[in-house]
Structure 1
Amino acid sequence: MFFLFILIFSTLISISSNSWFGCWIGLEINLLSFIPLISNSSNLLSSEASLKYFLTQSIASINFIFSILLKLFMMKNFEINNFISIMINSSLLMKMGSAPFHFWFPNISEGLSWFNNFLLMTWQKITPMILLSYYFNKNFIMIIMIINAIIGAIGGLNQTSLRKLMTFSSINNLGWMLASIMISENLWMFYLIMYSFLISIMCFLFQLLNMFFINQLFISNMNYMIKMFLLINFLSLGGLPPFIGFFPKWILINFLLTNNFFITTFIFIMMSLIMLFFYIRIIYSSFMFNYINLKWMKIYLKNKFMILINILSFLSISGMMLSTLIFL
């Protein structure tokens, strides 16, 4: 609990700082507070993940502080400014696990619990994203957000691990977030809140069911209500109307089309369809496959939290309809 408080505090240090050096200090405190949260001496995968996370984040931090110092000494040289902005952007993108600097993200997520994965996919992106909005190279970020959308969609196609699947989903959504932060910080905040809401339901449900791989969804003889929750939340996360996950994407598509980003919008929509394809494939398997040898073991979650998930799933399906009525 103490380290979680430090994690939140470090984000506030970074986003309220009036110098790049203060932002860097905030990022370092964030790194040092997140490692004790994810490391577990009794779990080798968790220990390995914390070490990998430390090394990759340290490399990104070194790159970030080097770029800041270079900017400080080369202030009058306008020709090198473009190169420095790309370096600062790259180090921040590496910190948030953005493609093509995502090499560490799926491997680390595999060794973490669902709660730590939720933090890694949501809270750990806030600081680098806000710092990126202060000083971004527009052309570079345009390319990166398209790469994010493509890698996030294609990378999830051959995954059997639910944690890796959620990671590639996060990379795809990061492309949408980068597009939203280029337009407006309010739009980005709205998208992040919506995405955090949906991913929290998924992580919470998988934590309750103790599920880490796709085959567990159809080997485990779950009752159809739980499968229905999974269906609703997966489709909402994929951005299918009339679910609430489509709402922030709809607003963002409107903004992109208004600013004549037709090719970018087309790529984003196509990649969202691929995302929906592998979400539907998982749900179809869990509904249709039946294992006779496990008939004796039926999973019913008699848990007070299931009422909460039920309410959240209902919000997910009804929210888009309500928002459409507001716009009409």
Structure 2
Amino acid sequence: MNQFNLSKLLFLMMMITGTMITFMSSSWPATWIGLEINLLSFIPIIYHKSNILTYEAAMKYFLIQTLASSLFLISSILMTLINYSLIYFLISITMIIKLGGAPFHMWFPSVMEGLSWNNCLLLMTLQKMAPLLILSYIPNNNCINMTIMMSIIVGTIGGMNQTSTRKIMAYSSINHLGWMFMTIKMSQNLWKLYFSIYTILITSIILMMKNLSMNHINQMSLHPYSPMIKYYLMMNLLSLGGLPPFLGFLPKWITIEMAMNQSLIIMICVMVWLSLITLYYYIQLSISSFMLNSSHLKWYMFTNMPSYNFMMITTTITSLLMLPIYSIMAF
């Protein structure tokens, strides 16, 4: 049985503090300090001495983030000596490395594979807030144009042949990073809306996968739990994929409309087309439980079924209630 760990709670508070320092800082060195506090606090959280995979994941994460932080610090020091456009380009590269966006995405799926579900949730949500905010501050960010399509393509193709749910969620996160980069390019407030809805949906999905101990896509057919929880999972996955009329379609709808107004027609059409492909591996996570008979093993008969999670139910109901909102906005 897992015991309450006070030290990890302390490191979690320090990690949140580092993120807040980055938010409130008015200079690049102070921003770097906040990022370093965040990094050094996250390493002890993800490390667990009884699991060698967490050690490997912690080392990979530390090396990649240290490389990015070093490049960011050098860029801050050379800001008064080199052209600002070059400095902003280097800072954008460092933030994309920290986020795990393409073409610097190679470390992200392997680190996700070695983490627990709680730490995966932190890596996909809280750890992305500060780098995304820094990217939104950079004016005329030409570097972000390159990584928009690359992140969406890598996230789409990379998740198609995966059987590990952690890697599928990792490539899904890379795909959504491409959409977030697109929103940063167009509006300061739109990426915050997109990130907020993404955080709500991914939190609900991660909590469900944790309760079901769902590490591979074929495990959904092995659980004797109520079919309702499987419907919840399917609805939230479809919402995460941006399928109307679910909640996840709202930020993508606004992004598409703003991109059309800015004459980015070809780019947004390709993004929408690739989003249809991502729905393929989202459906893979839940379709086996509906198309195949669940295997009810005898030793499951007297086990306690997990209670429904409040976040899961709330997110699903909210997604379903978005249909009348879409109707009102359309008219």
**Corresponding residue number in structure 2 for 1:211:** 214
**Corresponding residue number in structure 2 for 1:241:** 244
Which of 305, 309, 313 pairs up with 1:306?
309
Separation in 2, partners of 1:204, 1:318? 21
Q: Are residues 1:70 and 2:70 paired?
A: no
**Corresponding residue number in structure 1 for 2:152:** 149
2:48 maps to amino acid: N
Whether contact under 8 Å (2:46, 2:119) holds in the other structure is yes
Separation in 1, partners of 2:314, 2:32? 40
Cα distance change, pair 295–275 in 1 and its aligned pair in 2 (3 A): farther
Greater Cα shift, 210-219 or 26-35: 210-219
Look up the SS of the partner of 1:290 in the other structure: coil
Q: Are residues 1:178 and 2:171 paired?
A: no
Which of 32, 47, 51 pairs up with 1:39?
47
Separation in 2, partners of 1:213, 1:156? 13
Look up the SS of the partner of 1:185 in the other structure: coil
Cα distance change, pair 293–51 in 1 and its aligned pair in 2 (3 A): same
- Deviation at residue 219 of structure 1 after TM alignment: 3.0
Whether contact under 8 Å (1:89, 1:137) holds in the other structure is no
Whether contact under 8 Å (1:221, 1:295) holds in the other structure is no
Separation in 1, partners of 2:301, 2:277? 32
- Deviation at residue 292 of structure 1 after TM alignment: 5.2
- Cα deviations by residue, 1:234-279 (Å, 9 ceiling, x for unpaired): 1000000010110110011100110001111011101110111121
Q: Output the TM-score relative to the length of structure 1.
A: 0.93
**Corresponding residue number in structure 1 for 2:33:** 25
Whether contact under 8 Å (1:14, 1:26) holds in the other structure is yes
How well do the aligned residues superpose, as a CA RMSD in angstroms?
1.9
Look up the SS of the partner of 1:100 in the other structure: coil
**Corresponding residue number in structure 1 for 2:6:** none
**Corresponding residue number in structure 1 for 2:327:** 324
The percent identity for this pair of structures is: 43
Look up the SS of the partner of 1:138 in the other structure: coil
Separation in 2, partners of 1:226, 1:258? 40
Whether contact under 8 Å (2:225, 2:305) holds in the other structure is no
Whether contact under 8 Å (2:163, 2:216) holds in the other structure is yes
Look up the SS of the partner of 1:13 in the other structure: helix
Separation in 1, partners of 2:13, 2:198? 22
Which of 11, 15, 38 pairs up with 2:19?
11
**Aligned residue pairs: how many?**
323
- Cα deviations by residue, 1:154-209 (Å, 9 ceiling, x for unpaired): 11001101011001100010111111112222111111110000000000001111
Separation in 1, partners of 2:118, 2:76? 33
Greater Cα shift, 128-137 or 25-34: 128-137
Summarize the alignment of residues 101-250 of structure 1 with structure 2, pairs less than 5 Å apart.
101-250=104-253
Unaligned runs of 5+ in 1: none
Q: Once superposed, which parts of structure 1, at least 4 consecutive aligned residues long, lie more than 6 Å away?
A: 298-301
Whether contact under 8 Å (1:11, 1:127) holds in the other structure is yes
Whether contact under 8 Å (1:3, 1:36) holds in the other structure is yes
Cα distance change, pair 317–268 in 1 and its aligned pair in 2 (3 A): same
Whether contact under 8 Å (2:241, 2:282) holds in the other structure is yes
- Deviation at residue 30 of structure 1 after TM alignment: 0.5
2:71 maps to amino acid: N
**Corresponding residue number in structure 1 for 2:262:** 259
Separation in 2, partners of 1:70, 1:265? 36
Unaligned runs of 5+ in 2: 1-8
- Cα deviations by residue, 1:94-113 (Å, 9 ceiling, x for unpaired): 01111111111000001111
Look up the SS of the partner of 2:321 in the other structure: helix
Whether contact under 8 Å (1:244, 1:317) holds in the other structure is yes
Q: Output the TM-score relative to the length of structure 2.
A: 0.92
1:158 maps to amino acid: N
